[in-house]
Chain A
Amino acid sequence: MNGRRQTTMLSRVADSLYWMSRYLERAEHTARLIDVDLQLRLDQSPEAGAGRWLRLLEVSEVPAPEDGKIDAASLTHVLTLDRTNPSSILSCVAAARENLRQVREQCSTEMWEQLNRLYLQVTSTTESEAWLLHSYVFFRAVREGAHLFQGVTDSTMSHGEGWQYIQLGRFVERTDELARLIGTHFGRLPHPLDQAVESEEYLEWVGLLKSCAAFEAYCKTYTAEIRPLRVAEFLLLNPEFPHSVRFSVDRIHAALVAIGELTERKAEQPVRLAGRLCATLSFSQIEEVMASGAGGYVDSVRWQCAQAHTAIQQVYFDYAVESALVS
């Protein structure tokens, strides 16, 4: 006996853990985006704010209003407490909880209680609290609730197969979010790549970094002088910062390798796809990436990530019974 005992994991359970994690990551991300926006708005002209709102909607995949008029209050509503928008914070937290509720016996009691508490807090928040009175408190609570859940997960759940699906979900979602955010930003705000940005524009670039929780870490690496090329390098290729694309993809790969070993399905498609993406990112030079445009590069990252997602579904969650019976 080596202390390890083979356990089985239902496909449905793995699927729920994966999606729970994706939803929670998305809720946290959206909360950070709006929070950053609300703070930037204080320092900016309304026109500059409106431009960022359009990007925010594009990133969140919410259709912009047809007349192009941005009403910050109603849009905050759409992104936070709107039950009809499946990617609002409330919908995401509710979906995360519903997924965990379906596999409660698989997670630790502490995890369930933490997520349930976050859910109760978000659902008991009224419109005026979220928007007018305590927006800062609300968005911070969502972020902290999500962080706390991660901490509780890491310290109370076995780091076995289930935990790996949680990692997988978080980083697949994060890769996609980061890629979308970077693509939209670089596409809409052209700026000479290797010059320091100033004044109004400076705030936008700081906003991008803060939206990735990356401002402080960026400053430590490159000082507070903001150059788009460095921002791109940091957010796309930094191997150590947890909200960079490269870091996220490395985690996806590591989780898939671990799952492959635990399920004795090592050479399957998901590992190979994630491995290829890892290699691409680790050998990329930022100058080359930007020369052909950030948009195309992040689109390719997103596409490969989506392929890995599909492969995960097909190999672990929703495989054909006939093929499984043969083996």
Chain B
Amino acid sequence: MSPPEPLTLFRPPFRNYQFDAAYDEMFASPGAPREHYKALFQTLLELPPEELRKTQQAADLSFLHQGITFTVYGNDEGTERVFPNDLLPRIIPHQEWRKIETGLTQRIAALNLFLEDIYHQGRILADGVVPRELVYSCRHFRREMRGLTVPRGIYVSICGTDLVRLPDGSFAVLEDNLRVPSGVSYMLANRKVLKKVFPTLFRDYGVSPVDHYAQALLATLRALAPASSSSRHEPKVVLLTPGVFNSAYFEHTFLAQQMGIELVEGRDLLVHDNIVYMRTTAGLRRVDVIYRRVDDDFLDPLCFRQDSSLGVPGLFNAYRAGNVVLANAIGTGVADDKALYAYVPAIIRYYLGEDPILANVQTYLLNDRSQRSYVLEHLEELVVKAVGESGGYGMLIGPHSTAAEREDFRRRIEAEPRNYIAQPTLSLSRAPCFLEGEVQARHVDLRPYILYGENVTLVPGGLTRVALRRGSLVVNSSQGGGSKDTWVLRA
């Protein structure tokens, strides 16, 4: 067998396409595209780069004009920024998607059973499968939820799970986002753009549609409506946003519009006699289901943070009384705590008696003495994450860190070991991106969106996030990441 052709033989626009140990989404080996990427590869070879560049500019402009922006915190100059979109689709064959789908369905089922258990009898704690102190010391554990029954026993009805593809080609779960996952609007916006850019390619590929997400979300939310509401009228569903300064505000408006429901802020709602009303021009109207995009802490100043002006005083009591439903439920954050994450495979086995379909990433728990000392000796190779943070904040990436940063994290870990976990530095898979007028490889992850109402629904697709900076492993929008459309192929 002849050795793979040297990279220099690559024709434009692939001239500078690089390979390393990471799994490449497009190429099985340098120059040899995988079966499901062949058509795209061919198109890219034939398309003049100038065309592609123009298309990219038009797409960027359309995002700007539509105001598809997010807010960067801790940045003075203009708070709105366009979330960069990459033109080249990430393609997932049907078989691979099937496995992702069943794996995530299994996971959300188990995590919901876990939440119901720890807020009621606590069997899994009594049986010693998950350490009691791990749950009770979690910042997102809500004592107020003890003994409260939620509709259908569903705590997490909207979930966005981060998957990564490891060098061997298998998908693993990196993070469960069980509180207020965002990004689904970009999935839909990217799709809209790509349909315009590659209409023929799109049709020939046979891509599964994602456009029904909003409808599926609405059906999910309606399925949770309190029994009391059905006798009165069709359930009134609203989306609660923290307001225009929230980083995901665009998404909130987008989803409310797509679902045709009211987008409300805390000041639009009020509670009287444990019933939630919204203030309309025609008087007060009763609210049944709140899809809340406000964190637990800020929901109700009478119950949680008193300084919150985003929430609704009395909301928690109305919730307890069963007069209104919140999605997701309060207190779900305990199940996506990064330390608890290490126990999810055990949780799946405990409740479902099945082996996890999707693997976890190896995780070191730092309140364990021996694991901690190993981690402290190997900070340079590992990624350290604060358990309660998200969005790429509070992270140390060992191989890319300075001695001072490592020293800082060492001190923080020693002070509060429960607050940190460590994982091996993963070599995320790489996918072709159109950058600087040519095709380059960048690290990507995948966030599919899971809905759990009457049953579990996954819209075939998700948000593929891209680390746009060369060599970077961080895909978060707040840290210089972008996104691309994800094409799940039909059977």
Contacts and interface: CB of A to CB of B under 8 A. Distances in A.
A324 B281 contact: no
Interface stretch (B2-10, B134-142, B162-170, B251-259): B251-259
Contacts of A36: none
B267 to A, nearest CB: 7
B65 A113 contact: yes
A307 interface: no
B450 to A, nearest CB: 24
Interface string A95-114: 00010011111100100110
A264 B280 CA distance: 12
Given A11-B279, A11-B281, A259-B281, A321 B244 contact: no
A116 B280 contact: no
Contacts of B270: 321
Interface stretch (B147-155, B282-290, B331-339): B282-290
Contacts, number: 76
A258 B39 CA distance: 57
Interface string A1-18: 000000011111010000
B391 interface: no
B268 A101 contact: no
A321 B273 CA distance: 13
A171 interface: no
> Range of interface residues on chain A?
20 to 34
Given A105-B263, A316-B281, A10 B268 contact: yes
A316 B283 CA distance: 8
B263 A265 contact: no
B66 A12 contact: no
Chain B at the A interface: SS class? mixed
A9 B280 contact: yes
Interface in B51-106: 64-67
A161 B254 contact: no
Interface string A278-300: 00000000000000000000000
A325 interface: yes
A72 interface: no
A221 interface: no
Given A104-B253, A104-B257, A105-B253, A265 B66 contact: no
Nearest to A164: B281
B253 A8 contact: no
Nearest to A316: B281
B442 to A, nearest CB: 29
A325 B285 contact: no
Interface in B280-320: 280-285
Contacts of A109: 66
Contacts of B253: 104-105
Contacts of A84: none
A263 B264 CA distance: 19
A163 to B, nearest CB: 13
B116 to A, nearest CB: 33
Q: B250, B257, B264, B278 — which one has the most chain A CB atoms within 10 A of its CB?
A: B257
B281 A263 contact: yes
A12 B257 contact: no
B193 to A, nearest CB: 14
Counting chain B CB atoms within 10 Å of each CB, which of A103, A161, A317, A325 scores highest? A325
Given A112-B67, A117-B65, A102 B244 contact: yes
B262 interface: yes
Contact of A98 (B244, B257, B263): B244
B272 interface: yes
Given A101-B244, A263-B283, 10 more contacts: A11-B279, A98-B244, A102-B243, A104-B250, A112-B66, A117-B65, A262-B282, A321-B284, A324-B284, A325-B284
Interface of A: 8-12, 14, 98, 101-106, 109, 112-113, 116-117, 120, 161, 259, 262-265, 316-317, 319, 321, 324-325, 327
Interface of B: 64-67, 243-244, 249-250, 253-254, 256-257, 262-265, 267-268, 270, 272, 278-285
Instruction: List 9 A-B pairs, minimum CB-CB distance, nearest first.
Output: A105-B257, A263-B282, A104-B253, A105-B256, A316-B281, A105-B253, A8-B280, A11-B279, A324-B284
